[in-house]
Amino acid sequence: MQPSMIPRLCVLSLFLVHAFSNAETITAPTPPPHEWRLPDHVPYPDGNEPTPQRVELGRMLYFDKRLSRDGTTSCASCHDPAQGWSDGLATSRGLDGKTLPRASPTIINAAYNTIQMWDGRKASLEDQAMGPMDSPDEMATDFDKLMALLGRDATYRAAFQAAYPDAPIDKLLIAKAIASFERTVVARNAPFDRWLAGDVTAMTLQQQRGFQIFVDPNTGNCAVCHRAPLFTDNGFHNIGLSSFGREGADPGRFAHKPIAVLKGAFKTPTLRNIAETAPYFHDGSAATLMDVVEHYARGGDVKTNLSPNLKTGPLTQQDKDDLVAFMQALSSPIPAPIAAASTRVSHLPVAGK
């Protein structure tokens, strides 16, 4: 054998080894998919920089049931840290046990959303926070009573003064404080994040395979909508839920933008901490992550107005298991001070009792 052949044979054998080992395992893609790293900077609007004082005030308000008309409901009732910042229900339960038409989305990383709500009807977190307080079914806040209470309460008075010196306490200020708190509910320490940062053992091989399927346009094709780095395109899609076939079906985004493709389209949700927020979809119709994957694998149920981007390739049972395993690698632990606060504040006395 000629010496010049040796390097070539080496390359060939390396290639073969690689090709065969690939069948068993998928190594971390090179270069690392940097585009999936969550941006360090949490965006906030002019005039509402989330200072520690604002965050603390917002935390108090977020967990305070006295914000609701009857003292039963805080933001945390439906966006509970212990339930992945959602509520564990198919669709939310409002005041007087009323069943609401849609599921409570997690507020994890909602700070990064460029549009809020399943139908995108709110632009910012500030704008959003006033919604549940105004809604007769959610909190039905009695603002006269609430302002009186906040004005009487020395702790709140001091907290408002520290957060927004000399600003009159009103609805907007409450919303700004709550939004500041929400901007700290950020998940960036999941096995997936550690894997992205270079810890190759942070995700199991099955989870790494699941990620490959997730981004592969020919198989999972999930990342076309659950895009890097937020697992959402901040976009709206009809993914063929069976509820869309029922009479009087929720039109979703179409109610706000009457464009044909938006009939039955809802916002692509983040998949952060998704393993903790079952059941799934805006109507709570999928009980498990495997149910979700099966839904995509069969191309949806009602196919009359499917998003043109909904194209899941053929998936083997192994692929489906891998996708589920990958989604389980997206859970970050809840920051300890917030977890502790949620139990502490829920014992606050209720107004009028």
Q: What are phi and psi of 92, to 5 degrees?
A: -65, 160
Longest dimension (CA), the chain: 94
Q: Which amino acid is at 256?
A: H
Nearest approach, Cβ of residue 126 and another protein (Å): 19
- Rounded to whole angstroms, what are the CA distances from 341 to 76, 126, 135, 335, 344? 11, 22, 26, 10, 5
Which CB sits closer to another protein, 140 or 265?
265
By CB under 6 A, the count of residues binding ligand HEC is 53
Neighbouring C-beta atoms of residue 24, cutoff 10 Å: 8
222 labelled ligand-binding? yes
- CA-to-CA distance for 319 and 130, rounded, in angstroms? 42
Q: Find the binding residues for ligand HEC in span 134-163 (CB under 6 A).
A: 138-139
Piece in contact with another protein (CB under 8 A), picked from 2-10, 261-269, 276-284, 333-341: 261-269
Piece in contact with another protein (CB under 8 A), picked from 207-215, 254-262, 312-320, 337-345: 254-262
Residue 130 tokens, joined: 């006033």
- CA-to-CA distance for 232 and 226, rounded, in angstroms? 4
Residue pointed to by tokens 């549009």: 115
Terminus-to-terminus CA distance in the chain, angstroms?
Answer: 93
With binding defined as CB under 6 A, does residue 129 bind ligand HEC? yes
- CA-to-CA distance for 45 and 112, rounded, in angstroms? 12
182 CB-side CA count, 13 A: 30
10 labelled ligand-binding? no
With binding defined as CB under 6 A, does residue 59 bind ligand HEC? no
Name which position in 53, 92, 206, 328 contacts ligand HEC (CB under 6 A).
92
With binding defined as CB under 8 A, does residue 244 bind another protein? no
- CA-to-CA distance for 104 and 250, rounded, in angstroms? 15
Residue 225 tokens, joined: 């909508």
Binding mask 160-199 for ligand HEC (x = CB under 6 A): ------------------x---------------------
Which CB sits closer to ligand HEC, 144 or 166?
144
Residue 334 interacting partner from another protein, ligand HEC, none (CB closer than 5 to 8 Å by kind): none
Contact 289, 324 (CB under 8 A): yes
225 labelled ligand-binding? yes
Q: Which amino acid is at 14?
A: L
Nearest approach, Cβ of residue 119 and ligand HEC (Å): 6
With binding defined as CB under 8 A, does residue 234 bind another protein? yes
Contact set with another protein (CB under 8 A): 114-115, 120, 217, 224, 233-237, 253, 257-262, 265, 307-309
Contact set with ligand HEC (CB under 6 A): 73, 75, 77-79, 92, 94, 100, 102, 104-105, 107, 110, 113, 116-119, 125, 128-129, 132-133, 138-139, 178, 220-222, 224-226, 237, 239, 241, 266, 268-269, 271, 274, 277, 280-282, 289, 292-293, 296, 307, 309-310, 312, 323
